[in-house]
């Protein structure tokens, strides 16, 4: 038993020591939030993120595109929630009842993005991001900054929030 505890502690210590080493090695770096869409890992720059919430009830809105799931009430503020999978045409099953919503903000535009799973914060080196990836479709190319060597897809949330697609102006 003592040995088991020792090994567990040792592993933990090793993990922490590696993260410190990385920090030492890093040049220009950004902090991101990692999350899962279906089985793929995605990341958003932490500077645009207000907070992460867990919500069970989303009020659907009529006369909106597919990717707008509905609206939520967050401490008195009404925020629209977007299914980014439908927006980016990523295949995958519908998400669970209890949904994680990432609240992002840029120049007064606040938006909730549904994530399947929140993986946590991490720091990535900018030079690690490869911008030219052929597998990414042309339509979505504008909203993706690049892919890290750990197959982490980094979304350009600023571009996404400012894009014309997101502006809802449908007439019925």
Q: Determine if 31 is a binding residue for other proteins (CB under 8 A).
A: yes
Q: Determine if 99 is a binding residue for other proteins (CB under 8 A).
A: no
Of the pair 15, 132, the CB lying nearest other proteins is at: 15
Q: Determine if 53 is a binding residue for other proteins (CB under 8 A).
A: yes
Of the pair 68, 101, the CB lying nearest other proteins is at: 101
Of the pair 12, 141, the CB lying nearest other proteins is at: 12
Cα–Cα dist 17/12, whole Å: 9
Of residues 133 through 172, those in contact with other proteins by CB under 8 A are none
Specify the pairing of strand 68-74 against strand 77-82. Answer: antiparallel
Of residues 104 through 133, those in contact with other proteins by CB under 8 A are 118, 120-121
Q: Determine if 33 is a binding residue for other proteins (CB under 8 A).
A: yes
CB of 95 to other proteins, least distance (A): 14
Cα–Cα dist 59/72, whole Å: 6
CB of 118 to other proteins, least distance (A): 6
- Mark the segment that binds other proteins (CB under 8 A) among 50-58, 73-81, 148-156, 160-168: 50-58
- Taking the CA atoms of residue 69, residue 75, residue 77 and residue 79 in that order, the dihedral angle to the nearest 10 degrees is -20
Q: Determine if 21 is a binding residue for other proteins (CB under 8 A).
A: no
Site residue total, other proteins (CB under 8 A)? 15
CB of 115 to other proteins, least distance (A): 11
Binding stretches for other proteins (CB under 8 A): 31, 33, 46-47, 49-54, 98, 100, 118, 120-121
């Amino acid at each position: 038993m003592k040995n088991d505890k020792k090994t567990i502690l040792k592993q933990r210590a090793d993990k922490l020591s590696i993260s410190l080493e990385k920090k030492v090695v890093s040049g220009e770096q950004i902090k991101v939030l990692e999350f899962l869409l279906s089985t793929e890992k995605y990341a958003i720059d932490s500077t645009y993120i207000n907070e992460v919430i867990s919500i069970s009830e989303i009020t659907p809105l009529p006369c909106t595109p597919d990717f707008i799931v509905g609206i939520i009430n967050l401490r008195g503020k009404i925020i629209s929630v977007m299914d980014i999978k439908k927006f980016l045409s990523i295949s995958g099953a519908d998400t669970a009842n209890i949904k994680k919503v990432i609240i992002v903000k840029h120049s007064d535009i606040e938006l909730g993005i549904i994530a399947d799973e929140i993986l946590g914060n991490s720091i990535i080196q900018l030079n690690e991001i490869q911008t030219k990836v052929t597998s990414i479709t042309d339509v979505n190319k504008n909203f993706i900054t690049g892919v890290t060597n750990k197959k982490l897809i980094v979304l350009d949330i600023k571009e996404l929030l400012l894009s014309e697609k997101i502006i809802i102006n449908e007439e019925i």
